[in-house]
Structure 1
Amino acid sequence: METLNFRFEHGQRPLPATAQLSGVVSSGNLEVLIESAVLNGACAIEVRTAARGFGKIWQAVLDDFQQRWQLADTRIAINDMGATPAVVSLRLDQAVQTALGSP
């Protein structure tokens, strides 16, 4: 397992206080836990992944995610079992949409 940590400063969109879980950890998939946290406007993301050596790809996917959502005061935990970048983006978007109460 590899643990990667990312932090994005100066977000614009805080989440409601409830935590949300999206996805299931299984072969080729991942789960995302998203929650509000006092981070001085930042979004902190911790990735635990079985696929070692993909830090640059994670960075690109998470850069794109944060650019779309501009989250502030948000903590995200990702438990990955080899999901593709498209599945990662999908699960992250699902977690945010659920947290914001969007369909």
Structure 2
Amino acid sequence: MNLINYTFKSEPFDVTTKDVICGVVGSGNLEILVSELDDSERSKFIINTSVSGFDHIWEAVIQEFVNRYAVGGLQFEINDMGATPAVVSLRLSQAINILEGEAHE
């Protein structure tokens, strides 16, 4: 397994519920666990992946996600089994949608 860590400066996420599990660890897929981070101006990404050599792709996908969403104060633990960048982006957006949906219930 390859372990990758990123921390990005980000606008604070303004929803009080900050814990979610999204996706399934399986071939060509991934699971995302979102939890609260003490620093509301930073987001942290911990990626456990079965594939080596794609750190630059991970960084680009995560950077695009951070640019699109205010995710400060959130930690994303990603358990990957070879998902494509499109699946990674979809699952990250899905996690935010779940968090935002729980805030409106």
TM-score (norm 1): 0.92
Q: 1:15–1:35: 8 Å Cα contact kept in structure 2?
A: no
Question: Match of 2:2, as an amino acid?
Answer: E
Question: Match of 2:5, as an amino acid?
Answer: N
CA-atom RMSD in angstroms:
1.7
**Aligned residue number for residue 37 of structure 1:** 37
**Aligned residue number for residue 101 of structure 1:** 101
Structure 2: runs of 5 or more not aligned: none
**Aligned residue number for residue 25 of structure 1:** 25
Question: Match of 1:99, as an amino acid?
Answer: L
Displacement of 1:40 in angstroms is: 4.3
Displacement of 1:10 in angstroms is: 3.7
**Could you list the per-position Cα deviations for residues 55-78 of structure 1 after superposition, in whole angstroms to 9, with x for gaps in the alignment?**
000000000000000211111100
Matches of 2:39 and 2:64, distance apart in 1: 20
Structure 1: runs of 5 or more not aligned: none
**Aligned residue number for residue 72 of structure 1:** 72
**Aligned residue number for residue 61 of structure 2:** 61
May I ask how many residue pairs the two structures share in their alignment?
A: 103
Matches of 2:14 and 2:89, distance apart in 1: 19
Matches of 1:2 and 1:90, distance apart in 2: 21
TM-score (norm 2): 0.90
Matches of 1:67 and 1:57, distance apart in 2: 15
Q: Secondary structure, in 3 states, of the residue corresponding to 2:38?
A: coil
